[in-house]
Amino acid sequence: MNMNITKILLLAFFTTNLLYADIIASDWLRPNSVPTPYDNQLSDKRIELGKLLYFDKRLSSSNEISCATCHDPKLGWSDALSKSIGHDGAKGPRNSPTIINTAYQEHQFWDGRVKSLEEQALGPIEAEVEMNMPLKKLIVKLKNIDGYVKLFKEAYPESDITKETLAKAIASFERTVLSTESPFDRYVKGDEDAVNKDAKDGFKLFRNKGRCTDCHSGFNFTDGSFHNLGLGDKDKGRIKTRKGVETSTGEMKTPTLRDITKTWPYFHDGSVKTLHEAVAICGNGGRFTDAKNLSHLIIDRDLNIDEIEKIVAFLRTLEGKDLDISIPTKFPR
């Protein structure tokens, strides 16, 4: 073959596949296995028990609030409120984060104050502004429900109903709340038609000019770290869990972008209702460039309206079908 023709064909090939040149599918696809602690391996009985507990309003002092009240599967496992509403109408200080893919996160809660789903599971139960149920009282309550006594014994035969087994069961269910295959996943697997041109352009902007991957990296689109976005609110964030570390002032955990279309309003303060505004804030320097301890990653990338629209088009491709689960309507007696 003529050398010039060969060069032209190679150039055409690499131009056509330029988008894939720096994409490794495994970097963007959810792993097949879920991280699980050695002392709480997943089993069908533990998952089913955890699901019942997750949706059971009797875990609250009022018998009116369950974990699903603030983390509703019909609302992206969040609640579509700027600030969570808990016991006796009390308003929480922050937006309810989704629990999708929390199994893969090393820190839980916006400020990362605990490192496991087991620790996370108990916090909202006792919190006065959430479920307002002292654990000692709840354990007694559960022990008086024969159906739960039986289920706990089947799930954790070496133990009793304790705050530890309660936390383990709820955490076991939460580990099954995972993102489903999205158009983006099909795209990185090689299906060029899974997303449109705007979304493809948006993915390039997301990785390059926008530098969104500085914080939203990997299959879960989060670095698992903490940043101050310069939103201008008074929430001290991570510094509360890292006493004396001034550089943690106002820092919040980077949320996953999986199913981001379902989990509005956005940010820890729930102050943003649209993806366009969220992208503009993160991509163009935050609300306040003089904010104390503003993350060095939050700088003005000079994204224009068209570029923001394309990034949003890409973000929409991260939406998968709702997780197929049966929501309990009857609970142990």
Confidence bin at 17 (pLDDT 50/70/90): very low
Q: For position 293, which CATH number holds?
A: 1.10.760.10
Name the amino acid, one letter, at 151: L
How far is 69 from 84, CA to CA, in rounded Å? 9
pLDDT surpassing 80 at residue 3: no
Of the CA atoms within 13 Å of residue 95, those in its CB half-sphere come to 22
- Per the CB < 8 A criterion, the answer to whether 55 and 327 are in contact is yes
Write the burial class of residue 305 (CB in 10 Å: 0-12 exposed, 13-18 middle, 19+ buried).
Answer: exposed
pLDDT surpassing 50 at residue 309: yes
Q: Which of 141, 156, 174 is the last residue of a domain?
A: 174
Q: Known catalytic residue: 128?
A: no
Q: Which two tokens stand for residue 184?
A: 């983006």
Helices (H), 230-327: 275-283, 305-316
Q: Would residue 26 count as lying in a domain?
A: no
The pLDDT of residue 118 is 97
pLDDT surpassing 70 at residue 176: yes
- Whether 229 and 135 share a structural domain: no
Q: What is the pTM of this model?
A: 0.91
- Whether 162 and 195 share a structural domain: no
For the chain, the residue count is 333
pLDDT surpassing 50 at residue 82: yes
User: Would you call the peptide bond into 332 cis, given omega within 30 degrees of 0 as the criterion?
Assistant: no
- Burial pattern 155-168, b for ≥16 Cβ within 10 A else e, equals bbeeeebebebbbb
User: How many domains does the chain contain in total?
Assistant: 2
Q: Would residue 9 count as lying in a domain?
A: no
Of the CA atoms within 13 Å of residue 127, those in its CB half-sphere come to 18
Q: Which of 92-96, 161-165, 236-240 has the lowest mean pLDDT?
A: 236-240
- Whether 163 and 219 share a structural domain: no
pLDDT surpassing 80 at residue 289: no
Of these residues, 130, 174, 307, 319, which one is catalytic? 130
- Per the CB < 8 A criterion, the answer to whether 54 and 174 are in contact is yes
- Whether 168 and 140 share a structural domain: yes
Q: Would residue 188 count as lying in a domain?
A: yes
Q: What domain range includes position 217?
A: 183-316
Q: Would residue 6 count as lying in a domain?
A: no
pLDDT surpassing 90 at residue 263: yes
Q: Which of 147, 174, 201 is the last residue of a domain?
A: 174
pLDDT surpassing 80 at residue 209: yes
The pLDDT of residue 13 is 41
- Whether 165 and 48 share a structural domain: yes
Q: How far apart are the first and last CA of the chain?
A: 79
Percent share of the chain, pLDDT over 90: 83
The pLDDT of residue 26 is 84
Name the amino acid, one letter, at 255: P
Spell out the residues 6+ positions from residue 186 whose beta carbon is closer than 8 angstroms to its own: 194
Q: Would residue 329 count as lying in a domain?
A: no
Confidence bin at 191 (pLDDT 50/70/90): very high
Give the long-range contacts of residues 244-249, CB within 8 A, separation 24 or more: 246/293, 247/293, 248/293, 249/292, 249/293
Render 57-121 in DSSP notation, one character per residue: GGGSTTS---HHHHSBGGGTTB-S-SS-B-GGGPBPSSPPPP-TTGGG-SSBSTT--BSSHHHHH
Confidence bin at 8 (pLDDT 50/70/90): very low
pLDDT surpassing 50 at residue 300: yes
The pLDDT of residue 22 is 59
pLDDT surpassing 90 at residue 258: yes
Confidence bin at 56 (pLDDT 50/70/90): very high
Q: Would residue 328 count as lying in a domain?
A: no
Confidence bin at 243 (pLDDT 50/70/90): low
- Whether 136 and 50 share a structural domain: yes
